[in-house]
């Protein structure tokens, strides 16, 4: 199968940036896995797991302002805070399913030192944060923050309400 045929067949398929690596024969290793019968889902899992640090986890604490509950969970590197919440039955809405089209996964980083180490929010995230309920100087969207080693021990507050303006 040629690269052109494969790209036409897979038009619209999304892979995260940085996961495609050139393989022998001109196909990316993800495309080669898909073409060899592994399928894109298999290729996605393979590259996603490698990017996450092969099983390494960090500790993340979610504090819910609605009921005062607190839950500390272990989260694999590379997962978003929204995914971490959903995987661990923490009530964080995420109405747009992480597509950066709402502010319902708004979290507040409790420690300024952790917040300062996070990558800067881009313009699209800042636009959505402007709609968030209870916005603070350390607010972020959970769908946009991927877990990294330096975040081990981070504590996040989940505001008591959300603003679902899409």
- Residue-range domains of the chain with CATH: 57-158 (3.10.20.30)
How far apart are the C-alpha atoms of 17 and 146, rounded to whole Å? 13
H or E segment and range at residue 70: strand 70-76
Q: Between residues 49 and 87, which one has the greater pLDDT?
A: 87
Q: Is the pLDDT of residue 71 over 80?
A: yes
How far apart are the C-alpha atoms of 25 and 22, rounded to whole Å? 9
Pick from 98, 99, 81, 96: nearest CA to 164: 96
Pick from 47, 72, 53, 52: nearest CA to 62: 72
- Percent of the chain past pLDDT 70, that is, above it, reads 65
Q: Poorest-confidence range of 28-42, 76-90, 116-130?
A: 28-42
- pTM passes above 0.85: no
Q: Is the pLDDT of residue 97 over 50?
A: yes
When the pLDDT of each residue in the chain is averaged and rounded to a whole number, the result is 78
Q: Between residues 11 and 124, which one has the greater pLDDT?
A: 124
How far apart are the C-alpha atoms of 52 and 159, rounded to whole Å? 28
Q: Is the pLDDT of residue 30 over 80?
A: no
Across-strand partners of 73?
60
């Amino acid at each position: 199968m040629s690269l052109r045929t494969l790209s036409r067949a897979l038009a619209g398929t999304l892979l995260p940036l940085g996961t495609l690596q050139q393989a022998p024969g001109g196909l990316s290793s993800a495309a080669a896995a898909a073409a060899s019968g592994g399928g894109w889902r298999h290729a996605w899992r393979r590259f996603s797991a490698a990017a996450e640090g092969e099983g390494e986890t960090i500790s993340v604490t979610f504090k819910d302002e609605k009921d005062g509950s607190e839950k500390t969970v272990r989260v694999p590197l590379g997962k978003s805070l929204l995914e971490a919440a959903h995987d661990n039955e923490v009530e964080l809405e995420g109405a747009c399913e992480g597509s950066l089209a709402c502010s319902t996964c708004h979290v507040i980083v409790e420690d300024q030192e952790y917040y300062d180490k996070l990558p800067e929010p881009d313009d699209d995230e800042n636009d959505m944060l402007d709609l968030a309920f209870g916005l603070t100087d350390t607010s972020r969207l959970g769908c946009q923050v991927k877990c990294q080693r330096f975040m081990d021990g981070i504590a996040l507050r989940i505001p008591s309400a959300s603003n679902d303006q899409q």
